[in-house]
Amino acid sequence: MTENPGGAPVPASHAASHPASHPAPTRRGVHDRLMQLSEVHDNGFRPERTLRLRVEFTRQVRRRRTQLTALVLLVLPVLIALAFKVSSGADSSGGGGGGGGGGASGRAGGPALVNLATTGATNFALFTEFASVGFLLVVIVALFCGDTVASEASWASLRYLLAIPVPRARLLRQKLIVALSLSFGANLLLPAWSYLVGGVFFGWAPGQSPLGGSFTTGAALQRLLIVVCYTSIQSLLVAALAFLLSVLTDAPLGAVGGATMLVVVSNILDSITSLDPYRRFLPTHFQYSWLDALGQSVVWDDMTRGTGVVLVYSAVFFALAWWRFQEKDILS
């Protein structure tokens, strides 16, 4: 037995019958050859029947890392609420504010979110989002999107998926749809669950703006929805880079760590004010622009710029991932 460049086994007799000038049918796996044959006669090959979304989604949801991630997102708001309860009982004037000020330093509106976290469900959800969006949600999105192709390669099952045969573009598309769905679910689950936990622990009072003023319940929920949508768009950058690294490496942790490292380095560079105006082009410069949605009126300027920057970076990373995977020899 020999192996074609796409990774599918080829009988020795068949390989011998093809001289060097006529290599194996395709370096992308047998699916290209099947597509050519299906144009001549119906061989039963239907690309749309391979790697169905329902099957892939069920498979990913049943994985232990997905279940542990969901558990962390459910437990974290409860732990934060208990911490606020304990600190307010020990020192109602300084416990909560002192603990959160360090994590919010350098971000306009951040310290106020800490002080307002216990005023009701909406403010508790906003604080939890503020505390999590800079690192926890980054790691979770990187985990879902960086573990897509690299995990199959590390399990030595990638070439067998392609030999089923699953077309390469379809394999990337199906895995990316599932990974982005799980990422969006995580970005939605945390504030939604935090809102419920905050209501149980601190009541359902109208939301208060860290910039002054208060909202009705309906307006507060609208602002919270804007925050969730914007942070989900911002997480697309991490998803795209993690997905690209997942195509380039066989080590899932390398893809996850590389995407997380980009955010860390970008935030460090963004804190150097002498880099103005160039730091505006850093991928995380507008990461916290959703705070502009918490004033008496929503200011869209920085959120629009942040969305544009993320979409450009993400488009480049996704395009590179598709191009590299189409040209890559699958050996694992």
- Per-residue pLDDT reduced to its tens digit, 125-155: 999 999 999 899 999 999 999 988 877 766 6
Q: How far apart are CA 292 and CA 230, in angstroms?
A: 11
Say what the pLDDT of residue 250 is.
82
By residue count, the chain amounts to: 332
With residues binned 3-state (H G I as helix, E B as strand, rest as coil), the percentages for the chain, rounded to 5, are 70, 0, 30
CA angle, 297 as apex, 295 and 303 as ends, to 5°?
80
CA angle, 239 as apex, 46 and 283 as ends, to 5°?
140
Can you say whether the dihedral through the CA atoms of 116, 119, 120, 121 is positive or negative?
positive
CB 198 within 8 A of CB 125: yes
Q: How far apart are CA 242 and CA 285, in angstroms?
A: 19
Q: Is 0.85 surpassed by the pTM of this model?
A: no
Rg from Cα positions in the chain: 24
Residue 227 scores a pLDDT above 90? yes
Reported as a pLDDT band with limits 50, 70 and 90, residue 10 is very low
245-270 residue pLDDT tens: 988 888 888 999 999 999 999 999 99
Mean of the pLDDT values across residues 258-283? 92
Residue 231 scores a pLDDT above 90? yes
- For tokens 């982005």, name the residue: 180
Q: How far apart are CA 258 and CA 84, in angstroms?
A: 34
Return the higher-pLDDT residue of 1 and 201: 201
Beta-bridge mates of residue 10: 2
Beta-bridge mates of residue 214: 208
Distances from the Cα of 151 to the Cα of 66, 147, 185, 246, angstroms: 14, 5, 21, 8
Residue 259's identity, in one-letter code, is: A
CB 302 within 8 A of CB 230: no
